[in-house]
């Protein structure tokens, strides 16, 4: 078709295709934004929505309390360990002093030092008692810290079990939300595809075809491309099934159109030559001739052969002679390329032979026959 278009018309056609692409790009941007924002119609759910709020809150408070008790027990344990260390140091120093004094006592064998021996022994026993008391305090704080840790572990385990059960419910709800959002998107894009199919069948050659084709491109992109990132695990089946249905529908339409075309061609080839040329569009005839095929049956014809004036397949006239200048020209041309005469104008002009003299038949037809 582009070979038969005027230069301005050709560039305007390209500009209109650019309009179609720009229109489609803006529609795609709008559609992508709308499809991406569709999840906002659903309420955002959390794990807490599927848990017993009172029991969960009680467990969290208990965990905080036991953690605080564990921290207090650890702090007290550190203090007790420090006190025991001090008591152990005092006891060790006192024992060393006592051992030194005892060695001296044995060396001197002074009996008057026996009361001091008793006193020192009692002091050493007191320090040992303090050391033992510090150890008991440490054991008590260790037991308190252990109880707090075990209590915290139990409470956390209960809370984790509650959260795990709630997470399962949340996952199931997410799957339902995902299905609903996918159906929202499908309900938005599938009608676009249906409308695009109707526009392609009915309006693709209308006056506003750039907007028609822009919408068709947008609908195809929205369904087969824009919908892909949001497909659930089973969403691919929907896309492929719809693709199969669309392909079958388009293929069936193409087969039906082909059969109708062949039937029309068979009927057209039975019509008179002049009527067939009259029914053919001028642009269609020129387009087919530029491709080297017969405008009537669309079969290949050697148009460069000067001896071929009729299609050898369907018999339609391809070339004739200008009635004004007798130049061989295309039978579908509106003007003669040699003299510029039209069909109506040529009927009023006398036919000329190729040498320029009036055609004998035309001259005889213009003069009355002699009666003599």
Please give the pLDDT value at position 344: 38
CB atoms near residue 351 (< 10 Å): 20
Which helix (DSSP H) or strand (DSSP E) does residue 321 occupy? Answer: strand 319-321
* Domain contains 305: yes
* Domain contains 75: yes
- The last residue of one of the domains, among 209, 227, 245, is 227
* Domain contains 197: yes
Please give the pLDDT value at position 346: 37
**Same domain, yes or no: 50 and 130:** yes
Model pLDDT for residues 294-328, shown as the tens digit of each residue: 888 888 888 888 888 888 888 888 888 888 888 88
**Same domain, yes or no: 290 and 185:** no
Beta bridge partner(s), residue 328 = 321
Token reading at 159: 């809370």
What pTM does this model have? 0.42
Model pLDDT for residues 247-260, shown as the tens digit of each residue: 888 788 878 887 88
Count how many domains the chain has: 2
Residues (pLDDT < 70) of the chain are: 1-10, 38-43, 98, 100-114, 116-118, 120, 228-239, 273, 343-372
CA 147 from chain centre, in angstroms, equals 55
**Same domain, yes or no: 199 and 343:** no
Task: Return the axis-axis angle of helices 7-37 and 209-221, rounded to nearest 10°.
Answer: 40
* Domain contains 349: yes
Tell me the residue range of the domain where 327 lies: 282-364
Model pLDDT for residues 325-339, shown as the tens digit of each residue: 888 888 888 888 888
Task: Return the axis-axis angle of helices 53-108 and 114-202, rounded to nearest 10°.
Answer: 150
* Domain contains 370: no
**Same domain, yes or no: 81 and 153:** yes
Please give the pLDDT value at position 228: 66
If you compute the radius of gyration of the chain from its CA atoms, what whole number of angstroms results? Answer: 52
**What ranges in the chain are assigned the alpha helix state H?**
7-37, 53-108, 114-202, 209-221, 235-268, 273-279, 282-290, 343-348, 360-366
**Same domain, yes or no: 209 and 327:** no
Q: How far apart are CA 161 and CA 70, in angstroms?
A: 23
SS3 label, residue 311: coil
* Domain contains 267: no
- Distance, first Cα to last Cα, the chain: 59
**Same domain, yes or no: 58 and 145:** yes
CB within 8 Å of 183: residues ≥ 6 apart: none
């Amino acid at each position: 078709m582009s070979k038969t278009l005027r230069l301005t018309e050709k560039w305007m056609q390209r500009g209109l295709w650019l309009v179609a692409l720009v229109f489609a790009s803006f529609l795609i941007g709008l559609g992508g934004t709308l499809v991406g924002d569709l999840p906002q119609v659903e309420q955002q759910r959390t794990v807490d929505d599927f848990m017993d709020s009172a029991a969960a809150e009680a467990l969290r408070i208990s965990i905080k309390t036991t953690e605080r008790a564990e921290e207090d027990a650890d702090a007290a344990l550190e203090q007790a360990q420090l006190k025991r260390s001090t008591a152990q140091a005092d006891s060790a120093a006192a024992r060393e002093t006592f051992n030194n004094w005892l060695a001296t006592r044995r060396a001197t064998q002074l009996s008057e030092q026996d009361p001091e021996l008793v006193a020192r022994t009692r002091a050493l026993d007191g320090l040992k008692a303090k050391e033992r008391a510090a150890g008991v305090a440490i054991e008590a704080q260790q037991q308190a810290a252990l109880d707090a840790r075990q209590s915290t572990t139990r409470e956390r385990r209960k809370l984790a079990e509650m959260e795990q059960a709630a997470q399962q419910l949340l996952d199931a709800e997410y799957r339902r939300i995902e299905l609903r959002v996918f159906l929202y998107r499908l309900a938005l894009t599938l009608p676009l595809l249906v409308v695009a199919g109707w526009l392609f069948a009915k309006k693709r050659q209308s006056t506003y075809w750039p907007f028609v084709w822009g919408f068709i491109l947008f609908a195809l992109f929205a369904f087969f491309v824009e919908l892909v990132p949001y497909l659930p695990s089973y969403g691919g089946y929907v896309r492929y099934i719809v693709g199969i249905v669309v392909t079958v529908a388009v293929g069936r339409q193409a087969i039906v159109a082909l059969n109708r075309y062949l039937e029309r061609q068979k009927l057209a080839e039975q019509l008179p030559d002049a009527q067939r040329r009259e029914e053919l569009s001028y642009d269609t005839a020129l387009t087919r001739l530029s491709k080297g095929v017969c405008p009537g049956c669309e079969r290949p014809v050697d148009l460069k052969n000067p001896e071929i004036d009729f299609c050898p397949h369907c018999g339609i006239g391809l070339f004739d002679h200008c009635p004004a200048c007798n130049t061989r020209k295309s039978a579908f041309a509106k003007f003669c390329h040699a003299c510029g005469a039209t069909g109506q104008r040529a009927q009023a002009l006398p036919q000329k032979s190729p040498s320029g003299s009036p055609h004998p038949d035309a001259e005889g037809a213009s003069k009355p026959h002699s009666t003599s």
